[in-house]
Amino acid sequence: MSEKKLHEDQKYIDGLLQNNSFIIEAIYDKFVPKVINYIKQNSGDSDQAQDIIQDTLITIYNQASEKKLELTCPFDAYFFLLCKRKWLNELKKSSNKEVTIKEELLYKGEDAHELAFETDVFGEKEALFTEMFNKLGTACKDLLTATFKIKSMEEVAESLGVTYAYARKKKSLCIGKLTELVQESPKFNLLNK
């Protein structure tokens, strides 16, 4: 698996760092109601929810300014999880009850979903490639199949009974045609969103 890329919701982290009132207002409009609702449903009130939210935003700000926080997941999930943890810790402190959260299970689940999604997309891209490959003419399919199996173009040309120059030129044309077929497919745009 490749290195995780920055999520588009990094704008919320950057907005907090820059004290951007528009971004802060967007956070309050989009993500705070869910947290308030969660805390109210779990032995809390609006004032306690506001304290947790403020504390969480300060924590995010500090991590972003000191450790260059780079978001690789939706801000909503990240923010909600942090608020939920803080609230559960608060409940644990205020009551003598054992409050536990099984984060290992949560992260394994997220990784499993992410991996399943990536695998699904990979399978769909592979199916699209195969579908478009089968639309190529026989000469192109034979040439490309040979180049997948044999690394040396001299050997490919020899196995097909053509000259080296012809094999190279034809390979370039066939790859160009295959690329065109794949990119013109309506499925291509859906897979690359």
Q: pLDDT (tens digit, 9 = 90+) per residue, 116-174?
A: 454 345 546 767 888 888 999 998 888 888 887 887 889 988 888 999 898 889 988 98
Helices (H), the chain: 10-17, 21-30, 32-41, 46-67, 75-94, 103-133, 138-149, 153-160, 164-184, 186-191
Q: pLDDT (tens digit, 9 = 90+) per residue, 12-29?
A: 999 999 999 999 999 999
Residue 56 · residue 86 · CB < 8 Å = yes
Task: Tell me the angle at which helices 75-94 and 10-17 cross, rounded to the nearest 10 degrees.
Answer: 70
Q: pLDDT (tens digit, 9 = 90+) per residue, 161-184?
A: 999 898 889 988 988 898 888 888
- Quote the CA–CA distance of 101 and 36 in Å, as a whole number: 19
Name residue 12's amino acid. Answer: Y
Place of tokens 């290992």: 104
CATH 1.10.10 fits 119-191, yes or no: yes
Q: Find, among 64, 76, 73, the residue nearest to 4 by Cα.
A: 73
Domain ranges for the chain: 10-101, 119-191
The domain 10-101 is placed in CATH, from the list 1.10.3720, 1.10.1740, 1.10.10, 1.10.287, at 1.10.1740
Predicted TM-score of the model (pTM)? 0.50
The confidence band for 51, taking pLDDT boundaries of 50, 70 and 90, is: very high
